[in-house]
Amino acid sequence: MEQELERLEGTVEDIIYLNEDNGYTVFEVSGSGVVTVVCGVVGELHAGESVVCRGRYENHATYGRQFHAQECETDMPKDLEAVYAFLASRSLPYIGARTADKIIDKFGAAALEVIANDPAQLTLIPGISADKADRIQQEFKRMFGMRELIAYLAQFEISPRRAMEVFRTFGPGAMQAIQQNPYLLCGEPLQLDFRHADSIAQYYQMAGDCAQRLEAALLRTLRHNAGNGHTCLPRAQLLETASNFIHQPPEKLAAALDSCIQTGKLAVRMFDGTPYIYLPDLLAAEQDIADRLAMLTRRGKQAAHGLDKNIQILELAQGFAYAPLQKEAIRKAMTENCLVLTGGPGTGKTTTVNAILQLLENEAERVALCAPTGRAAKRLSELTGRKASTIHRLLEVDYTGGVVSFIHNDKNLLKCDVVILDEMSMVDVKLFQALIAALRYSCRIIMVGDADQLPSVGPGNILGEIIRSGLVPTVCLNEIFRQAAQSLIVENAHHIISGEPLKKGGKTDDFFFLEADGDAAQKLVCDLVTTRLPRSYQFDPVKDIQVLCPTKLGPTGTQALNAELQAMLNPPRKGKPELQSAARVFRVGDKVMQVRNNYEITWQRIGGEQGVGAYNGDIGIVESIDVRSRSMVVRMDDRRLVYPAENLNELEIAYAITVHKSQGSEFPAVILPAAQVPPRLCYRNLFYTGVTRGRKLCIVVGRRDVVNRMMSNIRQNLRYSGLAALLAQALPPGRENLSD
């Protein structure tokens, strides 16, 4: 049974730290003759305010007793001393200690009532004009309006942090806007849980079939499915899903859907006689991609004088001959305006890309190499010997307005002639839309990837849809080269795709299948990481070995394995700093992973360069912890990032991560538990992606029947997308069947 929250009541004495973006605050509260340090996401506070906090005391080894607040109620300062403390704290514009003295002398404890209700009286104070008095009142109302909103939303179980986001979105009129339409909360940009909006609507006795609720359910269903990778949904499926979600008849939702289409809140496109419903931004993204690829495909081919001779010169310089499909890819890369180059492991994609790069550089073409993630970009740079960057870094993220945008866009184009984009399967439609918008119309695009890997975490399946359309020049490498063929990882990867049985592997192989189940599988995984592989292969258990799990739950899910591996590899020790954040404990030396994009966090590269941004899937090691400020320094490759307390929820322990999070990365050794895998995660692409992350060694630990189910299921990677159909509409007749 959950322990009841403790209560702390008193007056705010001092604000030690405040993050204005999310409301995380460290402050001192005096009450009953005791000063207590309090921390938590409580919104904006000021000296002199009365507070009632609910949370729990924690005894810190260095700083003693502290109070971690989960709830915080405030009230305006009431007695003379508290009013003065508030005014003297410089919380209001134009008022410091000296002006506070004058206001108190004039109005006494009623000073705040004057500011709130009769600011003209402030002009009696020397130095305060009518304009300044109005500004003081506006800030005072904003401050306590936010406080009022936090208290109002708390009754519907909405946290202070989310309440502050609501206030920033709607301003002082937030409460009135929510009362009129609670479902604004679950729309853009807030996307609060639908149940919160329902709770408020029920409080005001709004009907379950009111227009606002029906519309919100449709939009929420599409956004939810976008999170699962779908850019659109068939109309009938959208209505059925939304109907089941809010328990309203599809007929009523159909009327709301038609209204949304008429007003432009949703969009519809017909594909093969079936209406598909889009969120407008996702339709725009797919349409922009289709139009650009169609334009590039239609455009006349590049001149390629002496191309075959130049390929022969490359072969002589390299000391080997390219395979026929590699030569075909090289020719198309030099003549076509866009190209898809795909193939599984060991089929020579990197060799082909390096040949293309050499020829492009010989022609003095300006080439931009990029990939969707930092680890994928680093790997691309290592394989090509040339500078590569993430798409975000290439476009240069601009977050100054609180919304992600890019410095390079349709008004500030990139200065390059060719873009080579690796790990194309990971790129979602919004990011690719941003990239093509920043390219000159003459810029050629070469898209490289493995179509059998997992599709992007975000909406869309660009690589799969382009290949499926058959309308964009495509070369699929399918010959496994002799050196790669000696790898059982490579051989089994192709067995997975073809549905052939796996080879178990022997002592000299780089792939093993070890049968185990339940707790025994968990014990085996931990033993492999901590003892057997370091002893037999000299792998570093933290830096070289990565556990990749299909699921988060169960004995061989990320949650249980991270708890076990952290206890074994980095246990608590006297004098070793650690931080508790929610259910996680971080210690110096822990392997951690960034789990969402943060475009503002600062980093310093070892060597001096500074920058901003940490991205979903970035992995690093905790270098140091400042217990007092509850902050950490994390090293990610050659960058050091400082994580303040309010950003710790962006990190997870990463001795074990999900296969989805591993996309675009390679690790010296991979251990893939396949014992208890939920049916919804038993599919081929996931298993294939996990196996192919291992560079030197891959060990599958689990059950033969689970592995067989994963290998035989190809349906789970199917996504609703209109890109192939939009490509067909954008390309004129006569440009079909361009793929090899």
Whether the bond into 189 is cis, omega within 30 of 0 = yes
- Least confidently predicted of 278-282, 324-328, 612-616: 612-616
- Least confidently predicted of 56-70, 276-290, 367-381, 583-597: 56-70
pLDDT at 1 over 50: no
pLDDT of residue 20: 65
pLDDT of residue 347: 85
| Residue spans of beta strands (DSSP E) within 349-455 | 367-371, 389-390, 397-398, 405-406, 418-421, 444-449
42-55 mean pLDDT:
79
Q: How far is CA 234 from CA 47, 268, 488, in A?
A: 56, 9, 42
DSSP code, position 529: I
* Token pair in block for residue 428: 């979602």
d(CA 497, CA 500): 8
DSSP code, position 495: H
pLDDT of residue 695: 87
- Contact criterion met (CB below 8 Å) for 431 and 372: yes
* Token pair in block for residue 353: 């890309």
Beta bridge partners of 699: 512, 671
pLDDT of residue 357: 93
pLDDT at 513 over 60: yes
Note the pLDDT tens digit of each residue in 705-738. 888 888 888 766 678 999 999 999 988 665 444 4
381-385 mean pLDDT:
90
pLDDT of residue 576: 82
pLDDT of residue 42: 74
Distance in angstroms between the alpha carbons of the first and the last residue of the chain: 63
127-137 mean pLDDT:
90
Backbone angles phi, psi at 13, to 5 degrees: -90, -40
- Least confidently predicted of 57-61, 451-455, 690-694: 57-61
Q: Is 92 exposed, middle or buried (0-12, 13-18, 19+ CB in 10 A)?
A: buried
- Least confidently predicted of 32-36, 585-589, 591-595: 32-36
pLDDT of residue 368: 94
Note the pLDDT tens digit of each residue in 226-264. 988 899 999 999 999 999 999 999 999 999 999 999 999
Which helix (H) or strand (E) segment holds residue 600: the answer is strand 598-605
Confidence of residue 436 (pLDDT cuts 50, 70, 90): very high
Beta bridge partners of 632: 625, 643
Higher pLDDT pick, 370 / 113: 370
Confidence of residue 600 (pLDDT cuts 50, 70, 90): confident
pLDDT of residue 482: 55
Non-local CB neighbours of 260 within 8 Å, separated by 6+ positions: 215, 218, 219, 266
pLDDT at 198 over 80: yes
- Contact criterion met (CB below 8 Å) for 629 and 690: no
- Beta sheet of 474-477, edge-to-edge order: 389-390, 367-371, 418-421, 444-449, 338-343, 474-477
pLDDT at 311 over 90: no
pLDDT of residue 182: 92
Highest mean pLDDT among 308-312, 431-435, 497-501: 431-435
- Least confidently predicted of 81-90, 122-131, 198-207: 81-90
Non-local CB neighbours of 34 within 8 Å, separated by 6+ positions: none
Dihedral of CA atoms 207, 213, 217, 220 in degrees, nearest 10, equals -140
Question: Scanning the structure block, which residue is given the tokens 């396949």?
Answer: 674
31-56 mean pLDDT:
81
Q: What is the mean pLDDT of the chain?
A: 86
- Contact criterion met (CB below 8 Å) for 687 and 710: yes
Question: Scanning the structure block, which residue is given the tokens 């679950």?
Answer: 186
**Residue among 527, 540, 563, 526 at smallest CA distance from 653:** 563
d(CA 355, CA 41): 54
In degrees, rounded to 5, the angle at the alpha carbon of residue 360 between the alpha carbons of residues 357 and 361 is: 85
pLDDT at 740 over 60: no
pLDDT of residue 171: 80
pLDDT at 208 over 70: yes
Phi-psi map region of 718: left, alpha, beta (phi>0 left; psi -120 to 50 alpha): beta
pLDDT of residue 736: 46
Note the pLDDT tens digit of each residue in 334-352. 999 999 999 988 888 999 9
Q: What share of the chain is helix, strand, coil (3-state, %, to 5)?
A: 45, 25, 35
Indicate the SS3 state at residue 435. Answer: helix
d(CA 676, CA 521): 10
* Token pair in block for residue 45: 């506070």
Highest mean pLDDT among 148-152, 274-278, 534-538, 711-715: 274-278
d(CA 400, CA 169): 16
pLDDT of residue 639: 85
* Token pair in block for residue 703: 């059950």
